[in-house]
A and B are shown apart, each in its own frame.
Chain A
């Protein structure tokens, strides 16, 4: 899925509406999500938008997991 939204446009939009300018990484992620949402207008619910799911969420979950939960009981 390709995005037509540039990170700079996303950064300007967030700065204008939230009075805080995101860093380049945040702006890039915002652009990806916004672009993917725009692209969904022509797809049906049969298709997934999963490639917009930030890797950051997965990294966060793994970092917060307790290694002891990996031990088979």
Chain B
């Protein structure tokens, strides 16, 4: 692997801006690494070498001409194949959309383009963003760069694998039940699901309009913050995007001070089914945070008895509403897991959906008032167990799939219903060499605070500096 690709996103942007390295050099190295890794990791759906090199050459010309440079100027990125770019195929990981060419460009892509990013291509994902493992019957399973027998997590599987393998400097994913945080955790990355409405969803494939979020996966907290800073903020094309002000997220990661900050440890639910390795990693992280001045407190969790089911009717019914026409007309073109999930949602009563939607603000208020009166940031595992293998999770579309889905996403799904921000944070490695992680959760719009804690922990542990073996 070229040493150029081992730089962080911020270092890469700084190097291009200073002229120490050209965007063309970076892009050529990334394309070469991407093509080489594809047979091993299967993380790209499409690579755009000509377009990327043209974009990189333009970025270099702008720098030489003394143009004002954006915070991602000349930096190669790629994204989950569900963010529309007018005229370019966006498969959404599906056969149904194998030839779909949207007529609009997603606001998040427009903002990354404006910040100077170079797009290498499109990344693998679960079919229509519906699976937590990285399996895809149409495009093949995406593989974990730390050990290619293991899952990447999903549904933003390619975003996790490509960023961790140093093929790109960062990637966007989407998170409806954990699909940014899970692949970030499985691949040893930072992954931010911001507050619901913080990032525009215009021009992105919809899955559940109440729960969908777009967020960055990156190797460092600061990289993650820079990407969030570019994409966050009100968008008049998305009427649900928040007008609440954004802040300088990246500044929160510089010299992060967490003295006196209360880190909450959940007394119920989120640690209940975690295995020993996961709990050890979470506890070790708490000790590090305490050594940095944080105050660790045990926290009561309201609604613990219903947390596993909370939000289920919303995600299921909203996805069903979007897919119902295709389910009638092209059921044979769905993968068996995706079709089975939609079919099972036909049994959810509309009243359950409406009741969940109605109860949501009340539940959010009670959760936030209870939890964040006791602490400033909540810590919880992302995956409750060590990262499983691809073979172990290749369970077809029956009851085993539903059980696996529930187990893998039990700690991430609730925060989509609760609309709260969550930052997946790397926390070392299992005995089998796969990454460990935890997530940091906060009040609405507390993204900077989460990034501050994540950056402080990262600086003290350095878990993110070494590349995975497959990137050597």
A residues apposed to B, CB below 8 Å: 10, 13-14, 17-18, 22, 26, 29-30, 33-34, 37, 40-54, 56-58, 60-66, 69-73
Contact = CB atoms under 8 A, between A and B. Distances in A.
A17 B351 contact: yes
A50 B199 CA distance: 13
22 contacts: A14-B355, A29-B358, A30-B354, A30-B357, A37-B317, A42-B325, A44-B325, A46-B102, A50-B238, A50-B239, A53-B197, A53-B240, A58-B240, A61-B195, A62-B242, A63-B365, A65-B445, A65-B446, A69-B448, A73-B247, A73-B448, A73-B452
B95 interface: no
Contacts of B448: 69, 72-73
A43 B323 CA distance: 9
Contacts of B247: 69-73
B353 to A, nearest CB: 8
Given A14-B351, A45-B206, 10 more contacts: A13-B350, A14-B354, A42-B325, A46-B205, A53-B240, A61-B242, A61-B364, A64-B369, A69-B442, A73-B247
Contacts of B350: 13, 34, 37
Contact of A33 (B251, B322, B357, B365): B357
A26 B323 CA distance: 27
A71 B321 CA distance: 40
B329 to A, nearest CB: 11
Contacts of A37: 317-318, 321, 350, 353
A14 B65 CA distance: 64
Contact of B196 (A18, A41, A44, A57): A57
A29 B356 CA distance: 13
Interface in B335-354: 349-351, 353-354
A73 B248 contact: yes
Contacts of A34: 350, 354
B160 to A, nearest CB: 23
Contacts of B353: 33, 37
B405 to A, nearest CB: 20
A10 B355 CA distance: 12
Nearest to B244: A62
Interface in B34-78: none
Contact of A69 (B317, B355, B360, B449): B449
Contacts of A48: 201-202, 206, 209, 238
B277 interface: no
B99 to A, nearest CB: 13
Contact of A45 (B252, B322, B355): B322
A64 B365 contact: yes
Contacts of B434: none
Top 8 A-B pairs ranked by shortest CB distance?
A: A61-B444, A53-B240, A17-B351, A60-B361, A40-B321, A65-B445, A73-B252, A50-B240
A47 B444 CA distance: 27
Interface in B239-267: 239-240, 242, 244-245, 247-248, 251-252
A22 B317 CA distance: 21
A42 B326 CA distance: 10
Contacts of B457: none
A39 B364 CA distance: 28
A66 B210 contact: no
A50 B208 CA distance: 10
Given A48-B201, A50-B240, A72-B247, A61 B445 contact: yes
Contact of B358 (A22, A58, A62): A22
Interface string B216-258: 0000000000000000000000111010110110011000000
A48 to B, nearest CB: 6
Contacts of B206: 45, 47-49
Contacts of B326: 44
Contacts of B196: 57, 61
A18 B201 contact: no
A6 B252 CA distance: 48
Contact of B209 (A14, A52, A69): A52
B240 A60 contact: no
B84 interface: yes
A37 B323 CA distance: 12
B209 to A, nearest CB: 5
B443 interface: yes
Contacts of B111: none
B92 interface: yes
Contacts of A47: 206
